[in-house]
Amino acid sequence: MTELISPTPPVADARLPWDEAMADPIGAIAAARTQHGDTFVIEGARSPFLFLFSAVGVQSFYAVAESDASKGVADWQMLRRKLPPELFRDRRTFPHDLFARDDVVQYLDVVRSAITIACDELGDSGTLEVFDFTRRLGHRVGLGTWAGPCGTSTEFNELIDALDELDGAAAFVDPGAMAAVAASDYAAERAALATAEEIIGRAVDVRDADAHEHTDHFQRIVNTWSDAEPDARREGIARDVILVHLGSMSNLFSALGWLLVDVTTRPELAAAIRGGDHALAERCALESTRIAQRSIMLRAVLQPIEVDDGTQTWTVEPGVMLATLLPLTNLATEDLRAYDPERWNRRRIRDGRGGGDERELVTAFGHGAHTCPAQPFSLSVMTAVLEAMIDRYDLEPQFADASPRAAQIGGVARAAAPCPLMYARRSA
Ligand code: HEM
Single-letter residue type at 396: E
Tell me which residue has its CA closest to atom 7 in ligand 1: 365
- Identify whether 7 is preceded by a cis peptide bond (ω within 30 of 0): yes
35 and 12 Cβ atoms separated by less than 8 Å: yes
User: In the prediction, which pLDDT does 151 show?
Assistant: 66
Is the four-CA dihedral 118, 119, 121, 126 of positive or negative sign? Answer: positive
* Model confidence, pTM: 0.96
Give me the chain's average pLDDT, please. Answer: 94
Query: What is the position in ligand 1's atom list of the atom closest to the CA of 74?
Result: 16
- Which tens digits make up the pLDDT trace of 267-290? 999 999 999 999 999 999 999 999
Tell me which residue has its CA closest to atom 1 in ligand 1: 252
Q: Tell me how far the alpha carbon of residue 371 lies from the centroid of ligand 1, in angstroms.
A: 7
136 and 260 Cβ atoms separated by less than 8 Å: no
Mean pLDDT lowest among 71-75, 96-100, 114-118, 261-265? 96-100
Using the predicted structure, report yes or no on whether residue 8 has a pLDDT greater than 70: yes
Using the predicted structure, report yes or no on whether residue 428 has a pLDDT greater than 90: no
* Position 106 confidence tier, pLDDT thresholds 50, 70, 90: confident
User: In the prediction, which pLDDT does 150 show?
Assistant: 78
Using the predicted structure, report yes or no on whether residue 105 has a pLDDT greater than 80: no
The topology (CATH level 3) of 91-256+365-425 is Cytochrome p450 (1.10.630)
* Position 297 confidence tier, pLDDT thresholds 50, 70, 90: very high
Using the predicted structure, report yes or no on whether residue 18 has a pLDDT greater than 70: yes
User: In the prediction, which pLDDT does 154 show?
Assistant: 80
CA–CA gap between residue 121 and residue 116 (Å, rounded): 9
Tell me which residue has its CA closest to atom 33 in ligand 1: 372
Q: Tell me how far the alpha carbon of residue 1 lies from the centroid of ligand 1, in angstroms.
A: 30
Using the predicted structure, report yes or no on whether residue 156 has a pLDDT greater than 80: yes
Q: Tell me how far the alpha carbon of residue 426 lies from the centroid of ligand 1, in angstroms.
A: 35
In the chain, where are the structural domains located?
A: 91-256+365-425
DSSP string covering 235-259: HHHHHHHHHHHHHHHTTHHHHHHHH
Residue in 73, 111, 244, 251 to alter for ligand 1 test, most ligand atoms within 8 A of Cβ: 251
Tell me which residue has its CA closest to atom 9 in ligand 1: 365
Query: What is the position in ligand 1's atom list of the atom closest to the CA of 371?
Result: 12
Q: Tell me how far the alpha carbon of residue 229 lies from the centroid of ligand 1, in angstroms.
A: 32
283 and 344 Cβ atoms separated by less than 8 Å: yes
User: In the prediction, which pLDDT does 98 show?
Assistant: 82
361 and 55 Cβ atoms separated by less than 8 Å: yes
Using the predicted structure, report yes or no on whether residue 114 has a pLDDT greater than 80: yes
Find all residues with CB under 8 Å of 69, minimum gap 6, and list them.
299, 300, 301, 302, 303, 305, 316, 322
Within 6 A (CB) of ligand 1 lie 71, 95, 244, 247-248, 251-252, 255, 289, 295, 297, 364-366, 370, 372-374, 377-378, 412
* Percent of the chain's residues with pLDDT above 90: 88
* Position 237 confidence tier, pLDDT thresholds 50, 70, 90: very high
Q: Tell me how far the alpha carbon of residue 95 lies from the centroid of ligand 1, in angstroms.
A: 9
Average pLDDT over residues 75-91: 95
Using the predicted structure, report yes or no on whether residue 419 has a pLDDT greater than 80: yes
Using the predicted structure, report yes or no on whether residue 76 has a pLDDT greater than 80: yes
CA–CA gap between residue 392 and residue 415 (Å, rounded): 25
DSSP string covering 342-372: GGEETTEEPTTTT-GGGGGGS-SS--GGGS-
Query: What is the position in ligand 1's atom list of the atom closest to the CA of 368?
Result: 15
Tell me which residue has its CA closest to atom 30 in ligand 1: 248
Tell me which residue has its CA closest to atom 18 in ligand 1: 372
Q: What phi and psi values does residue 144 have, to the nearest 5 degrees?
A: -60, -30
Mean pLDDT lowest among 20-24, 67-71, 193-197, 411-415? 20-24
- Distances 421 to 122, 231, 257, 264, 394 between C-alpha atoms, Å: 12, 45, 11, 9, 10
Average pLDDT over residues 212-233: 94
CA–CA gap between residue 259 and residue 383 (Å, rounded): 9
Query: What is the position in ligand 1's atom list of the atom closest to the CA of 370?
Result: 41
Tell me which residue has its CA closest to atom 20 in ligand 1: 372
Find all residues with CB under 8 Å of 145, minimum gap 6, and list them.
107, 110, 151, 216, 217, 218, 377
User: In the prediction, which pLDDT does 101 show?
Assistant: 65
Query: What is the position in ligand 1's atom list of the atom closest to the CA of 297?
Result: 16
